[in-house]
């Protein structure tokens, strides 16, 4: 049975924010299932999540994570990004014998921007200032490695993500779609950029 999958997602830490992006194509085997698939999700007021891999598995994780973060907010107050990362890791590790077929990037802003990359078993990496997941990530990393700099601004990160995703789309059959999704998370919280706002970066 073919499952919906395919993707290029990216996260970049800037001086005062974290920017995440993804294209919108999902595939089932050799068929394009959707050209407007959502791959970036707001899971808390200051936290966003990108998904890559099996769409059904990923959406189940998004639902569980949102519910758990909402419960934490009611019972204990807002969760930290590190706390959310630990929670997601535990959820994924709990299914290690029947793992979810996904990679995730968790991005957020507490007192400073942060970025976590997850494998299907809940292992995560937090050392780097940028990550890419999905079938197009090898092509995206080529652009990111050559053009990222430590003093990158939010606007520059948006442009770099778009360039890296466009490069992946050129070479990866699992990446594509009608538009590119971008979200910015900073001290003011999570914000999805509209198509109109993205035009100046294209």
- Which residue segments constitute the domains of the chain, with CATH numbers given? 4-201 (3.60.20.10)
Q: Under a CB-based contact definition with an 8 Å cutoff, are residues 104 and 117 in contact?
A: yes
Which residues are 51's β-sheet partners? 104
Active-site residues: which are they? 7
Q: Under a CB-based contact definition with an 8 Å cutoff, are residues 169 and 8 in contact?
A: yes
Q: What is the pLDDT along the chain (202 residues), one digit of tens a residue?
A: 444 456 899 999 999 999 999 999 888 877 888 888 999 999 999 999 999 998 899 999 999 999 999 999 999 999 999 999 999 999 999 988 888 889 999 999 999 999 999 999 999 999 899 999 999 999 999 999 999 999 999 999 999 999 999 999 999 988 988 899 999 999 999 999 999 999 999 8
Q: How far apart are CA 15 and CA 18, in angstroms?
A: 8
Q: Dihedral of CA 13/89/121/54: which sign?
A: negative
SS (H, E, C) 57-68: HHHHHHHHHHHH
């Amino acid at each position: 049975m073919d499952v919906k999958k395919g993707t290029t997602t990216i996260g970049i830490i800037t001086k005062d924010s974290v920017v995440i992006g993804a294209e919108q194509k999902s595939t089932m085997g050799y068929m394009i299932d959707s050209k407007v698939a959502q791959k970036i999700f707001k899971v808390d007021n200051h936290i966003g999540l990108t998904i890559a891999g099996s769409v059904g598995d990923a959406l189940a994780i998004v639902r569980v994570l949102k519910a758990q973060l909402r419960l934490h907010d009611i019972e204990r107050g807002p969760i930290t990004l590190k706390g959310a990362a630990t929670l997601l890791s535990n959820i994924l590790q709990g299914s290690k014998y029947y793992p979810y077929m996904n990679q995730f990037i968790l991005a957020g802003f507490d007192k400073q921007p942060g970025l976590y990359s997850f494998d299907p078993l809940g292992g995560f990496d937090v050392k780097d200032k940028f990550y890419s997941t999905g079938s197009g990530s090898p092509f995206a990393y080529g652009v990111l490695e050559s053009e990222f700099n430590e003093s990158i601004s939010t606007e520059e990160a948006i442009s770099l993500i778009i360039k890296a995703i466009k490069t992946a789309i050129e070479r990866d059959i699992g990446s594509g779609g009608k538009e590119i999704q971008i979200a910015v998370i900073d001290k003011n919280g999570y914000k999805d950029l509209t198509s109109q706002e993205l035009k100046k970066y294209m």
